[in-house]
């Protein structure tokens, strides 16, 4: 393209300077043709500059869409395992929810210390039920607190990403930020679903505790009845 424009300008110059008439042995130049040739050269140079600018813009646009963007690399704090999934492993949930004596979580320990007053002694059903119930409640509180903290941190970072989106300078950056916002929004929805499941498990555990209490009472009655029958014999 550049060579074509320069050739056109040169040809125009040759035509202008070729129109030379000789009068009385002195050369006479056509000033109009010379002016037109100069204007043609200037126009060609301007068009060439515009084409070069368009080429640079096309190259930048091409690089924007071909260079990969590390979406998960934005705000790396959000990639922490505790944020990716704040819930304990499914395999450990039964022990924590049921209140096994060996499954008191770290956050559960905090709530257990705050709320616990007395540890029953003995191995009778009532003592066992009271101990397991206190551990279960503390673990459930700890799981809920971890999930809530994770959601709060994600929401805070979503606010930060929205601010970055407003200050974005090109379409590639806008696309990357929107992609990360979508990932975090889906993660929050997943955590909300986990919280609903935890609520259902908590309700079921409360019913299980009530059932265990009734069973303990019934066991005591049957033991008493057996002792009484034994004395009659």
**pLDDT tens digits, residue range 119-146?**
888 888 888 888 888 999 999 999 888 8
Mean per-residue pLDDT of the chain = 75
The answer to whether the beta carbons of residues 36 and 12 sit under 8 Å apart is yes
In this prediction, residue 110 has a pLDDT band, given cuts at 50, 70 and 90, of very high
Give the separation between CA 97 and CA 141, rounded to whole angstroms: 10
Segment 158-194, tens digit of pLDDT: 777 777 777 777 777 777 777 777 877 787 788 888 8
CA angle 77, 78, 82 (to 5 degrees): 95
State pTM to two decimals.
0.57
- Give the pair of three-digit tokens for residue 174: 């806008």
For the chain, give every domain's residue range. Answer: 2-66, 71-232
* Per-residue confidence (pLDDT) for residue 166, from 0 to 100: 77
d(CA 93, CA 140): 10
Tokens 């799981």 belong to which residue? 143
Q: How sure is the predictor about 15, in pLDDT bands with cuts at 50, 70 and 90?
A: very low
């Amino acid at each position: 393209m550049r060579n074509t424009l320069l050739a056109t300008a040169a040809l125009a110059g040759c035509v202008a300077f070729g129109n030379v008439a000789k009068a009385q042995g002195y050369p006479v130049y056509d000033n109009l043709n010379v002016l037109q040739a100069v204007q043609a050269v200037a126009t060609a140079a301007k068009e060439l500059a515009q084409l070069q600018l368009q080429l640079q813009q096309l190259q930048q646009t091409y690089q924007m869409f071909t260079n990969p963007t590390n979406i998960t690399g934005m705000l790396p704090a959000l990639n922490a395992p505790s944020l990716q999934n704040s819930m304990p492993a499914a395999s450990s949930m039964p022990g924590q929810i049921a209140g096994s004596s060996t499954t008191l979580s770290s956050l559960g320990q905090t709530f257990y210390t705050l709320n616990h007053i007395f540890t029953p002694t003995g191995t009778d059903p009532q003592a066992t039920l009271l101990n397991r119930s206190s551990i279960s409640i503390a673990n459930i509180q700890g799981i809920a607190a971890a999930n809530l903290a994770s959601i709060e941190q994600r929401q805070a970072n979503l606010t930060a990403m929205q601010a970055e989106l407003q200050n974005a300078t090109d379409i590639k950056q806008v696309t990357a930020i929107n992609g990360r916002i979508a990932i975090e929004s889906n993660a929050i929805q997943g955590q909300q679903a986990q919280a609903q499941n935890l609520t259902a498990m908590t309700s079921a555990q409360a019913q299980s505790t009530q059932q265990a209490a009734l069973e303990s009472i019934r066991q005591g009655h049957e033991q008493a009845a057996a002792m009484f029958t034994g004395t009659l014999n």
